[in-house]
Amino acid sequence: MKKIALAATAFLLGTASASAADLAARPYTKAPPVPVATIYNWTGFYLGADVGYGWGRSTGTLTTAAGLLPIPYSVNPSGVIGGGFLGYNYQISNVVLGVEADWQASDLNKSGNFVLTAVGPTTYTIGTKIKDYGSVRGRLGVAVDRWLVFGTGGFAWGRWDTSYGFAGVATPFVIDSVSSHAGWTAGAGVEYAFADNWLGRVEYRYTDLGKASFVSAATNSAELGNRVTINDVRVGIAYKFGAPAPVVAKY
């Protein structure tokens, strides 16, 4: 029995020694690195072009030069727009601040017939053509990697012609050409960076160009206040200059 006990003890000691040797020989393994993801950085200057469709409203009141015999009117000009824009974005975390300017050539126009019955029925043809409009705006957006949802608003200006004539007569008796009239604009949109330096966008904008008036003694006519507003939807593409380092997010 004594010999069996000694043999068992020797076996256990040998096994423990072998296990200790295995532990001592096992190399140290570092923990796996924390994975990182690179997020698109919207900071930088950009330049782009867009095209879209606009629809608006031109309202006012035609009178005599003395303000008599008022003829209220409202027409809804619509048509294609197209132009360009430039701006700068600055990203803080997932918030994007920016400033942008744009200009749009337009083919929004519409006319209608309006009847004056105060001194016998007389039909007038009144129409508005919006030539172009532009803006300088601030922008505020939220970025999710390559997607950016933004709102925008600021100063706007535009040019339009409103013509006043007798129905059936080809030449209007007066055309009020409004140049660089000031107003405001606001809207929202979404952008996607489909390449590191290329951005696509879809945007809706509302623009109020304010009211313009005139008095013409030569034609015995006056406008009490022609107000022009525009809604438009546009799609655009832009080139972003430079290649700022991507934002790195750990997870």
The answer to whether residue 77 scores a pLDDT higher than 90 is yes
Parent domain of 87 = 39-250
Is residue 16 assigned to a domain?
no
The rounded mean pLDDT for the chain is 88
Q: What pLDDT is recorded for position 200?
A: 98
pLDDT tens string 131-175: 999 999 999 999 999 999 999 999 999 999 999 999 999 999 999
CATH of the domain at 89: 2.40.160.20
Cα distances (Å, whole numbers) of residue 165 to 40, 74, 161, 193, 228: 56, 15, 13, 50, 19
Is residue 94 assigned to a domain?
yes
Task: Output the six-digit token pair for 86.
Answer: 């430039």
Q: What pLDDT is recorded for position 38?
A: 75
pTM above 0.85, yes or no: no
**pLDDT band of 119, cuts 50, 70, 90:** confident
Q: How many domains does the chain have?
A: 1
Cα distances (Å, whole numbers) of residue 144 to 100, 148, 149, 165, 193: 21, 6, 8, 54, 11
Is residue 105 assigned to a domain?
yes
Is residue 7 assigned to a domain?
no
d(CA 134, CA 120): 42
pLDDT tens string 30-56: 656 655 567 999 999 999 999 999 999
Is residue 10 assigned to a domain?
no
Is residue 8 assigned to a domain?
no
